[in-house]
Chains A and B, each alone.
Chain A
Amino acid sequence: MIFVTVGTTCFDELVRAVDTEAFHEKALALGFERLVVQRGRGSHRPRQLGLKTESFDLKPSLDEELKSASLVISHAGAGSIIEALRERRRLLVVVNPLLMNNHQLELAEAMQRRGHCAMAADASEVVARLQEAVQMDLTAYPAANLKPWHDLLEDACGVVPVSRAPG
């Protein structure tokens, strides 16, 4: 299943890009059968063009979709990118060039450079990048380790950890 998510933004260009015959053909050729689209605040609704397609606007949690997807195509929001990588999904990040000044590109590029995901600089590149996203060698996104952060907080505040407290 391919899961497309635009978060809480309006990114109809991406929804339109996966609502084309070219996209469906390519996805079917790569062995996909279903397409689930989370449309966010956009208004375009995808049609049935080959893949079994469903769509919805917003949900409190996308866990279920993320867990059952074998490829996630996501807008470049930090929340969506990190959630997909945490679920260890194959990921194609699509930058919304209309939001250039919000620094989405920086994060998408950094993740791509480290081999965590594929990236499309705008929605028109999605079909061209699909195969790469499915077949690229992935570098697993490292697990979060909050210990250094807790240590830093303790240091910054001078809280002596119970285990190290004198007496």
Chain B
Amino acid sequence: MLAVVLVCAWLTLAARVLWWMLERISWHRTENRRRWAGTRLPLRSLVVLGSGGHTMEMLSLLKDLDQDKYRCDFILGDTDSTSLKKVQATRPDLAENLERFHSIPRSREVGQSWTSTLFSTMKALASCLGLIWKLRPQVLIVNGPGTCIPVVAAALFFELVAFRSLSLVFVESVCRVKSLSMTGKLTYLVSDSFVVHWPELAERYPKAQYLGVLL
């Protein structure tokens, strides 16, 4: 009897994982799934700010973004002291409510050894899981810094186990002209939309979309 229950549980789990993979993974640009059509606006949107150049690029992309459609929360690396200041300087409207800024531990600092990276990554992932559970994002916009990895992993995990569907939009950094960044490669298959800043990249990667000059 127990064996039957176990087998059924395994089959259900395997079916769920398989179905999720079919829905989530795509090598080419697919028809958009229009996940949120008819949903009440604004959509709960989560934006990862990296540091330095990544933050500058993300803030340019958020210019004129309709806050009545996408209500943005922000994730910052906890050692990043400049990004919040930059938002406050350039987009005071977004920085009005500091509760919308959430910091997570960095998974890796430059020069950190790989064994300690493993532990700090686990810590970062745990913190992201908590945050994603709380914020229930419908849209996740990321643009490359390493801080994105645990956030994306946590969001996809909840999509898999808690049936929380997600629109994942990845924007590659403008400094990538011929090849994708590490985060880009990792996010390529699971993203809903994958945006690049150079036509060279769009030619090489069938799923990547070049939208002209955005910055």
B residues less than 8 Å from A160 (CB atoms): 37-38
Contact assessment for A107 and B174 in the assembled complex, using a CB-CB cutoff below 8 Å: yes
A residues less than 8 Å from B215 (CB atoms): 82, 144
Q: How far is the CB of B132 from chain A (nearest CB, A)?
A: 17
What's the tally of chain A residues with a CB closer than 8 Å to chain B?
32
Let me know if A60 is at the binding interface, CB within 8 A.
Answer: yes
Let me know if A163 is at the binding interface, CB within 8 A.
Answer: no
Contact assessment for B37 and A145 in the assembled complex, using a CB-CB cutoff below 8 Å: no
Contact assessment for B214 and A157 in the assembled complex, using a CB-CB cutoff below 8 Å: no
Main secondary structure of the interface of A (DSSP, over half): helix
What's the tally of chain B residues with a CB closer than 8 Å to chain A?
46
Let me know if B178 is at the binding interface, CB within 8 A.
Answer: yes
| Contact of A158 with B177 at beta-carbon distance under 8 Å, contacts A148-B211, A150-B65 already known | no
Q: How far is the CB of B90 from chain A (nearest CB, A)?
A: 9
A residues less than 8 Å from B174 (CB atoms): 78, 82, 107
Let me know if A98 is at the binding interface, CB within 8 A.
Answer: no
Interface flags for B183-200 (1: CB within 8 Å of A; 0: not) read 000000000110100101
Let me know if B169 is at the binding interface, CB within 8 A.
Answer: yes
CA distance A155 to B176 in the complex (A): 24
Interface centre among A61, A144, A149 (most CB of B within 10 A): A149
Q: Nearest 8 pairs between A and B by C-beta?
A: A158-B34, A148-B211, A158-B37, A106-B177, A156-B193, A107-B175, A110-B177, A79-B56
A-B contacts, 8 of them at CB < 8 A, read: A60-B89, A78-B174, A82-B174, A110-B198, A141-B213, A145-B213, A158-B36, A159-B41
Query: Which residues of A are interface residues toward B (Cβ below 8 A)?
Result: 8, 60-61, 77-79, 82, 102-104, 106-107, 109-110, 141-146, 148-150, 152-160
Query: Which residues of B are interface residues toward A (Cβ below 8 A)?
Result: 32-38, 41, 43, 52-53, 56-57, 60-61, 63-66, 69-70, 82, 85, 89, 138-139, 141, 167, 169, 173-178, 192-193, 195, 198, 200, 209, 211-215
